[in-house]
Structures are given as structure tokens and as C-alpha cells.
């Protein structure tokens, strides 16, 4: 009797279709569970201001050392965040912020004012949720994968 041969072939097709559907639904569910960084936890204006100040400070420290001068004091105002992009860096929620700010450099003998300076910062809330860190890409690495440096933002 050969009827069993046809029933086993159709059974295999059904198993194949069920298996493919299980894989498809698994992929869809996995994609739905990706980490979404909520905007409501984005940094406030004070953190953004401190991040900009820290970023400028790092640049000015290097320049002041090269010129053998005293580092100027900074007065940052009128921060205007134009774009906030939630991203995940190192498995932690992070935010890429861009926008403009006004700057007053207070030197020994003069003050220099600049308006509408552009900023581009990456900020990351730490796992415990109490502190923020300024992130910067390390340009010294030659690998394809981005390496990040992080600097603690001290809340003042």
C-alpha cells in the first residue's frame, strides 16, 4: 500500500510551513522588543549646559597649555536644543543633542562674546540613574567599531 507515502509528504510540508511561521513570528517579536530610549528621561537644560562647558573646558585646557596662558572663564547662555536623538551606547540609554548656545569668554583683560555657537554632544544617564556622563568618540582607534570615552558631569 502506497497511500502512506503521500500522507507523510503532505505532513512534512505542513511541518515546514509551521516551522517557517514560528521563525517569522519569533523575528517579529524580537524586533518589537528592541530597546527604545524614552525621550522623557532626556537630560535637562542644566545637564546640557554642564556638558557643553565640560566639552569646551577640555578643548581650552589643551589650547591654554600649548599657549602657556591661563584658561578663560566660561559663561554659557541661551542654549537652544534643535534635535534630540535617543540612542543606545554600551547597552545604556543615551541622547545625541545638537543645537546652539551663546558664549562669553572672560579673559584677563577682556571679554569675548560669541552667539549661536553650534554644539553636538552625546549624553548618557548611568545605570543607577543618578549621574550623567559626556561621551565622545575616540578618534585614536583604527577599528571599525566605535570606541567611546566618557566623562562624569558633576552636578553643581
Question: How confident is the model over 119-129, as a mean pLDDT?
Answer: 90
Task: List residues bridging with 137 in a β-sheet.
Answer: 148
Residue 63 pLDDT: 84
Most confident of 22-36, 59-73, 82-96: 82-96
**Domain edges within the chain:** 1-34, 39-153
Q: pLDDT value at position 31?
A: 45
The residue-averaged pLDDT of 120-140 equals: 88
pTM of the model: 0.71
8-32 mean pLDDT: 60
Amino acid at each position: 500500500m502506497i497511500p502512506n507515502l503521500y500522507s507523510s509528504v503532505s505532513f512534512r510540508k505542513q511541518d515546514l510551513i509551521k516551522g517557517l511561521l514560528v521563525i517569522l513570528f519569533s523575528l517579529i517579536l524580537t524586533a518589537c522588543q528592541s530597546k527604545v530610549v524614552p525621550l522623557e528621561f532626556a537630560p535637562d537644560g542644566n545637564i546640557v549646559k554642564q556638558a557643553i562647558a565640560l566639552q569646551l573646558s577640555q578643548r581650552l585646557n589643551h589650547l591654554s597649555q600649548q599657549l602657556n596662558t591661563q584658561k578663560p572663564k566660561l559663561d554659557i547662555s541661551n542654549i537652544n536644543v534643535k534635535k534630540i536623538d535617543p540612542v543606545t551606547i554600551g547597552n545604556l540609554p543615551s541622547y545625541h543633542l545638537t543645537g546652539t548656545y551663546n558664549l562669553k569668554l572672560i579673559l584677563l583683560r577682556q571679554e569675548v562674546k560669541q552667539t549661536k555657537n553650534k554644539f553636538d554632544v552625546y549624553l548618557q544617564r548611568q545605570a543607577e540613574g543618578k549621574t550623567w556622563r559626556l561621551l565622545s568618540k575616540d578618534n585614536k582607534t583604527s577599528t571599525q567599531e566605535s570606541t567611546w570615552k566618557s566623562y562624569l558631569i558633576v552636578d553643581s
